[in-house]
Amino acid sequence: MSVRARAGIATANRVVVKVGSSSISGVNAGQIEPLVTALAEAHSNGTEIILVSSGAIATGMPYLNLDSRPTDLATQQAAAAVGQNVLIYRYQDSLDRYGIVAGQVLLTAGDLEDLTSRSNAKRAMERLLSLGILPIVNENDTVATHEIRFGDNDRLAALVAIMTHADALVLLSDVDAIYTRPPEEPGAERIDLVHAGEPLAGVEFGEAKRTGVGTGGASTKVSAALLAAARGTGVLVTSAAQVGAALHGTDVGTWFEPADEAVPAVADRIGS
């Protein structure tokens, strides 16, 4: 059952956690260990954790001698093919400290739009969780095309949370919360709570990050949070540095209150 307030994350049965590329790749590759520590603690307390992790392309870039994220599809696919392998190795190497095994799940937008593929993906993740495995989900960038991409892994995480009936979704980035305007601007105020159905009128977002290694921004997180909350999953948006506090249900980040009843248009497409 979806938790109604952020404090309930600490005792949730199932939580989807999403982390962005910039938080766990490049100079921040070392942040995988504290992230895994927080996930392992929740796992040991009986919470089923599904990790949605970006970073395949960013992790693969140095191996292809690339200084910036490639713009052409073929090079993105090549970087993802190399980087996904390295990324999963890094996660598993860190998880070994806790005796936890990771299971890799790669999805395309088409997989979640097709009823049969979606059912297969859901069944596979349910089985992994029942076996005590920690699923690590990412978009299958090696085969995805521009026309059938999720657009960003925030949306993928929201769809995974809906599909698996997660009790909560935690979206992690480099910023500790959603603000009324870009946090570096004067007068920016942290938004503590977004009530179910609240449109967030008057909130100003900066441009989504399309340079460097990441592809998302505050607007993509809000969009994903509203999608999941409308389907009945509570969502916390905060920074990767605060993942431990987030999973303890501490008063951090921005909490998106779940709707009492799922929005039919969303439920009909994704909830089965």
CA 77 – CA 75 distance, rounded (Å): 5
The DSSP output letter for 205 is -
Burial 39-76 (b: 16+ CB within 10 A, else e): bbebbeeebbbbbbbbbbbbbbbbeeeeeebbeeeebb
Q: Tell me which residue has tokens 């690590």.
A: 136
Spatial contact of 163 and 270, defined as CB atoms under 8 Å apart? yes
Write out the H or E segment, with its range, that includes residue 160. helix 153-163
Q: List Cβ neighbours of 211 (8 Å cut-off, separation of 6 or more).
A: 68, 69
Spatial contact of 214 and 54, defined as CB atoms under 8 Å apart? yes
Structural tokens at position 75: 């090079």
- Residue 221, marked binder: no
Q: List Cβ neighbours of 204 (8 Å cut-off, separation of 6 or more).
A: 180, 181, 182
Q: Tell me which residue has tokens 């970006």.
A: 54
- Residue 2, marked binder: no
- Residue 54, marked binder: yes
Spatial contact of 17 and 50, defined as CB atoms under 8 Å apart? yes
- Residue 96, marked binder: no
Binding-site sequence positions: 18, 54, 141, 153, 173-174
Q: Annotated binding residues for substrate, as ranges?
A: 54, 141, 153
Q: Which residues are annotated as a binding site for ATP?
A: 18, 173-174
